[in-house]
Amino acid sequence: MIILAIDEGTTGTKCMCFDRDQQPLSSVSLEFKQHYPQPGWVEHDAQEIWQRTLEAARRALAEAGAGAADVMAVGITNQRETTVIWDRESGEPVRNAIVWQCRRSADICRRCVEEGLEDTVREKTGLVLDPYFSGTKLTWVMENEPEIARRAEAGELCFGTMDSWLIYRLTGGRVHATDVSNASRTLLFNIRDLTWDPELASMCSIPMSMLPEVKESCGVFGETDPESFLGITAPIAGVAGDQQAALFGQACFHPGMTKNTYGTGSFVLMNIGGEPRISRKGLLTTVAWSMGGRVTYAMEGAIFITGAAVNWLRDGLRIIDDASEVDELAAQVDDTDGVYFVPAFVGLGAPHWDPGARALLIGMTRGTNRSHIARAVIESMALQTADVVEVMRDEASVPLKELRVDGGASVMDMLLQYQADLLGVPVRRPVISETTSLGAALLAGLATGFWESMREVEERWKLDREAMPDSSAGERVSIMRRDWRRAVERSLDWAREDMACEAGD
């Protein structure tokens, strides 16, 4: 028997099969198209994602030598804030999904701030008013697409993040549900009461009838429909947003345990236990998972662009042919020679939360070459993470003893060493780097008795690489942090000057 994990990401869908030893038997990834209808707007075709899911799952089972009858349970993890709207009867999407990266609702967020709603949102949701989250994306649709708004008010439409969309399709349209971790990313969910909040829904002009049922992350959501899903009849038994799933997959089960995923963006999450602690310095408080009637919360720093900057080196500047080349290119120089890169392509996330910030490459001279730029891109991943962890250490009041890392860029030993030097703690990469998929599989397996306990999961976490902080790096780190902050201030100044110009007009 196996657990099938579906990991629906920002640029593609991955399906993996895991055995009882928590070892991956297969991994199949399929990309899907990114749609950019206007500058700053990002969309996905939800139907294309569903088709990619079917194909990736089919191939993953074949690669593992497994059939439909071998699937004990299905786990789902997903890009979190991406917004899908579909017809309740036909199951057809009524428009493209609006991706978490999309900034189209920035003006709506500013309007809410001006109306004095920021404190209410922060206290109830643990989030900030930013276009990153689902709620204001839905508001934008309700205000700009009247036919969809009419149908939503009439109760004809469903809303969900990508997990809800997949659950709906996997069950043949029988289940419209989400888990608490995904619900906590919508701006509509009260993380203290663990319910949809009518005041927040009204603030976002969203009919409550659109919202999915909220369930525990570890538990049965429904059974897959064999006619819809490759002949498989199995419980969907574990669901969590991608970053919460990675925290679980890293076995960060105790308060203070922290992970960072270096993916398209980077997401630092610290387990803060069973009580929410609201940040005052730009971090988010989110539901990590719930199981057996107990809720675990996390403090999170969401960094919008890290790995995506490597893709920019490839697709934008064209100074590399493949993303895997960046580490070797950066190693050709000893340092950046004073070059800093602030990857604010879609504004800056934690701890700044400024959608108007702009990317910049600063400190260049005639001697600057592509190796310096590549190294600056890698350093920016570690520097942004250090900014978040600095605030997290202050607000969580829990000591950080180590940082567990995963995601595509975590294979770069250079990055891990930068991170250890900047934080002054060990940075540890596990043997199984696919912690997001693993987390979804573990939640599903624990719910169905495939694995017995969290202790068993914790004991199976294995170290691959550990970077220890260099005791002689103090002065170098101090200079890096100082010059980095200067570069970030320049990036933020763009937004301030834009606002000043608009006010002058």
Quick one: pLDDT at residue 496? 64
Quick one: pLDDT at residue 397? 80
Spans in the chain with pLDDT lower than 70: 495-505
Contact 465, 416 (CB under 8 A): yes
d(CA 240, CA 450): 18
Quick one: pLDDT at residue 493? 86
Which tokens go with 417?
Answer: 């060493």
Quick one: pLDDT at residue 500? 53
pTM: 0.88
Q: Is residue 172 part of a domain?
A: yes
Domain that holds residue 90: 2-243
d(CA 341, CA 308): 13
d(CA 261, CA 263): 6
Q: What is the 3-state secondary structure (H, E, C) of 214-242?
A: EECCEEEEEECCCCCCCCCCCEEEEEEEH
Quick one: pLDDT at residue 497? 60
Scanning 236-278, the segments in alpha helix (DSSP H) are 242-249
Report the domain count for the chain: 1
Beta partners for 273?
Answer: 297
Quick one: pLDDT at residue 443? 97
Contact 388, 343 (CB under 8 A): no
d(CA 452, CA 469): 36
Quick one: pLDDT at residue 302? 85
Distances (CA, A) of 227 to 220, 223, 491: 20, 12, 52
Task: For residue 154, count other CB atoms closer than 10 A to its CB.
Answer: 10
Q: Is residue 134 part of a domain?
A: yes
Q: Is residue 402 part of a domain?
A: no
Quick one: pLDDT at residue 340? 96
Contact 116, 123 (CB under 8 A): no
Q: Is residue 304 part of a domain?
A: no
Rounded to a whole number, what is the distance in angstroms from the first to the last CA of the chain? 66
Which domain CATH number covers 14? 3.30.420.40
Q: Is residue 140 part of a domain?
A: yes
Q: Is residue 200 part of a domain?
A: yes
Q: Is residue 84 part of a domain?
A: yes
Quick one: pLDDT at residue 353? 83
Q: Is residue 394 part of a domain?
A: no
